[in-house]
Chain A
Amino acid sequence: MAASISGYTFSSVCYHSANSNSDHEGFLLGDVRQEETVSISDTQISTAELLQIVEIHNHDPCAQLFSFYDYAGKVSEENLNSILKDRRKKVIGWYRFRRNTQQQMSFREQIIHKQLTQLLGVPDLVFLLFSFISTANSSTHALEYVLFRPNRRYNQRITLSIPNLGNTSQQEYKISSVPNTSLNYAKVVKEHGAEFFDKDGVMKDIRTIFQVYSALQDKVQAVCVEVEQSERVKEKFQEDVNKLKQQIALRKRKTAEEKRLREVQNADSRSTPEENTEPPEASLLSRITFHAPSAPERPSTSPNPPSYTDLLSQDDSLLSSSSPPTSAALLPRPQAVGSPGHPTPGPLGMGLAMGLGLSLGTSPNPVTTPSTPYLGNGDGSSSDSLDRQAAGQEDDDDDEDDEDDDEEDEDSSEYENLVSETTHLQMVSASVLVPGRPAALSPDGDARGSQTT
């Protein structure tokens, strides 16, 4: 047997009880129904389980004690009828509230219960006992409740469940099967129901919401198509951009080569012993420049940043310009070949990729540069800067020769930087020179070899 009571009925009983200054009693109204559960499992055909469920819908408190029984505990049917009136049929039990007592049926309660069972004709009449226990200093009060079915010999206590009273984080909010028996409620629902429910009994709001949902779904689908198209267009643009970039790079390399050749010729005419160290670098560098185009086999659409060597070659052209490499020249400039003697150390404190040229000398013609000076972002910003500088470079070509000496002094400082970093270059170039060598895994799993900084 199981029993359930709706939350509002339970709280109403508690309210009545807690507010009374003595013991309190009343009747429980509701229904008893039988549930049959048929379970089929692999091991057995079927088992039917009959469960009797007592549902407490309402309660009817008595105004005072001894209202339907006398001192001897004899129940007066007349008084009972006057209290219950037409609700008599709905009575499924009765309850009693007493403070600071044991959870056990008392002498009089047992006597009354027997008589009520007979008079009301309910064989399994239940008895709900509330007891309120307070600690001595009134700091803690406990309301305890036990549901009895005293007419049985064994298993007299039944669990009373209150739907949605418990740990709701682990359970869903349940809609109780206990119906709302209020007449007023039924009337109002009938009167105003049409505003909320359509002819099928489904709430109108639900339909509306569903419509909104469908519309949104359609829009999303449409947007998806548009996105796809724009992505394709963008892809195409990216291809074009990459192609153009390649062309620019090629052109620059060519001009740089020509310039270098000219300088080499000039340098040969004033050659010194110290220069013996340089040609290998020059050849190295020229080798770098030579091999640079072939090394990176980039797919046109790939957004990979250009390899380090590419950047190096690009910077050659940058360094040749009179404009100080404030922005784009964040990379070492390998062009300090052929500078006379050791360059005076300049106030260079920056690393390889960090504003190397920013500390070099003064800049008579500062070139406005983008805030992101990194080359090879792949998003075009670097190409912007390159374009600009390329333009500047072409303009300033005429001035270059005049300012060579000046530049070389400046460059000499750069050269020192370069000397200190040639080892790095050599490492890089070594990797470039042998493009075919696959990345070798070090024992700890890091890929070494052809890596770009």
Chain B
Amino acid sequence: MNNMSPEVALHRISPELRPLLCNVVRNGRVGLDSTNCLRVTDLKTGCTSLTLGPCCDRFKLHIPYAGETLKWDIIFNARYPELPPDFIFGDDAEFLPEPSELPHLVQWDAGKSECLLQLVKELLQQYHQYQCQRLRESSRLLFEYDSLLEDSSYHHNMEVYAGRKNSWTGEFSARFLLKLPVDFSNIPVYLLKDTALDPGEDVALLSVSFEDAEATQVFPKLYLSPSIEHALGGSSALHIPAFPSGGCLIDYVPQVCQLLTNKVQYVIQGYHKRREYIAAFLSHFGMGVVEYDAEGFTKLTLMIMWKDFCFLVHVDLPLYFPRDQPTLTFQSVYHFTNSGQLYSQVQKSYPYSPRWDGNEMAKRAKAYFKTFIPQFQEGAFANGKL
């Protein structure tokens, strides 16, 4: 019943209602958090138990909203599939949307498969307004909301969940979920390709939880879509600053935005820099290039001959190049170590400066090779065996 796969749900629902549910399950991305799609559970029927299936016509829809999951009951009648559904809004017993503001309910058309999904989106909008209304119970939080509302970048990209008042302590809590206006479009495609699932929209969401009405306990959290997270170097790479006590969202959120933007820029720059580096090496070493990463420009392998001594140089470019220095690995083509590997030496510190351009780096690298090779050769002959 729970964690039902969409296909199972579609199989059990009454055939006349299937198109509506199909649309919801397959295309159903509502709200800011579009990485989580809508889920359907608890399929039941309103027909007598003697009716042969599939005849399910009522179910629970799980909708992600402001970090919470809303569980709404949707009730159809399989015998009258042309009729619009009824809703039970779970624990939000006081939420009563205005029917006139639900055009897809007033002009319900069971023939249009997207009708249900559109209706759910309209209900969600009404729900958002209802939650914002509830913020009135705390003037501080209402202020936060209003200030964000004025900023056009956040106005339409905000979900608010005003939590239930704790009946014992009388505390009121709220959560703001904001979609950060950060441009991810310039992130090189290769960085976004590695995720197994459909990455969906690239989005960064900032969730700020106010555990009390006076904003003394505030917990921010950044959510990145998987591809962005990967592109920026994993979840550990990005740390957002703590919410300053006495601060407010209208100041804090832009801070986080800037941080994120900087990071993205850095990543983009790094990519370009790496490309430049590789290009310079290609032009300097020409035929000596064995192979290189033509997508991410993270690796380069050269084969160099010096006084009849051949060797390989592997260059590994880190993510935060040029800030971080590339690693050079020298490898002999003749000598093996005891473990059967080709004899190699890694060099991490050599003359380098992040301010050099690609050309300069290639020239300097060449010069370094010349000084280092005799040393390497000796080492190879001494420690390796043919």
Contacts and interface: CB of A to CB of B under 8 A. Distances in A.
Q: How many residues of B sit at the interface, in one of the four size bands?
A: 20 to 34
A428 to B, nearest CB: 87
B89 interface: yes
Given A101-B73, A134-B49, A106 B88 contact: yes
A87 interface: no
B322 interface: no
Interface string B172-187: 0000000000000000
B87 interface: yes
A107 B96 contact: yes
Contact of A23 (B49, B77, B93, B106): B77
B49 A138 contact: yes
Nearest to A156: B93
B78 interface: yes
A100 B44 contact: yes
Contacts of B344: none
Contact of B77 (A22, A74, A107, A141): A22
B105 interface: yes
Contacts of B58: 100-101
Q: Interface size bucket, A side?
A: 20 to 34
Contacts of A110: 96
B93 A104 contact: yes
Contacts of A73: 99
Interface stretch (A43-51, A64-72, A175-183): A64-72
A107 B97 contact: yes
Given A22-B77, A110-B96, A111-B99, A65 B47 contact: no
Contacts of A72: 99-100, 102, 105-106
Nearest to B91: A104
A109 interface: yes
B97 A99 contact: no
B86 A108 contact: yes
Query: Max chain A CB contacts within 10 Å: which of B46, B79, B105, B106?
Result: B46
A344 interface: no
A54 to B, nearest CB: 23
A22 B100 contact: no
Most B CB within 10 A of own CB, among A71, A111, A134: A71
Contacts of A71: 83-84, 105-108
B99 A98 contact: no
B45 interface: yes
A171 interface: no
B79 A21 contact: yes
A102 interface: yes
B88 A102 contact: yes
Contacts of A23: 46, 75, 77
Nearest to B99: A72
B61 to A, nearest CB: 13
A98 B46 contact: yes
B76 to A, nearest CB: 9
Interface in B84-124: 84, 86-89, 93, 96-97, 99-100, 102, 105-108
Nearest to B84: A71
B341 interface: no
B99 A74 contact: yes
Contacts of A111: 96, 99
Q: Determine which residue in A18, A66, A101 has the highest number of CB atoms from chain B within 10 A of its CB, and name it.
A: A101
Given A104-B88, A111-B99, A21 B47 contact: yes
A100 B74 CA distance: 12
B55 to A, nearest CB: 9
Contacts of B87: 106-108
A101 B88 contact: yes
Contacts of A105: 88
A106 B86 contact: yes
A65 B83 contact: yes
B245 interface: no
A316 B354 CA distance: 150
B190 interface: no
B80 interface: yes
Nearest to A102: B88
Interface string A71-111: 11110000000000000000000000011111011111111
Contacts of A101: 44, 46, 58, 73, 75, 88
Contacts of B51: 21
B84 A22 contact: no
A215 to B, nearest CB: 60
Nearest to A104: B88
B152 interface: no
20 contacts: A21-B47, A22-B46, A22-B77, A22-B80, A72-B102, A73-B99, A74-B99, A98-B46, A98-B75, A100-B44, A101-B44, A101-B73, A101-B88, A102-B73, A105-B88, A106-B86, A107-B87, A107-B96, A134-B49, A141-B49
Given A21-B79, A74-B99, 5 more contacts: A71-B105, A99-B46, A100-B46, A101-B44, A108-B87
4 closest A-B pairs by beta carbon, nearest first, are A100-B44, A72-B99, A22-B79, A22-B77
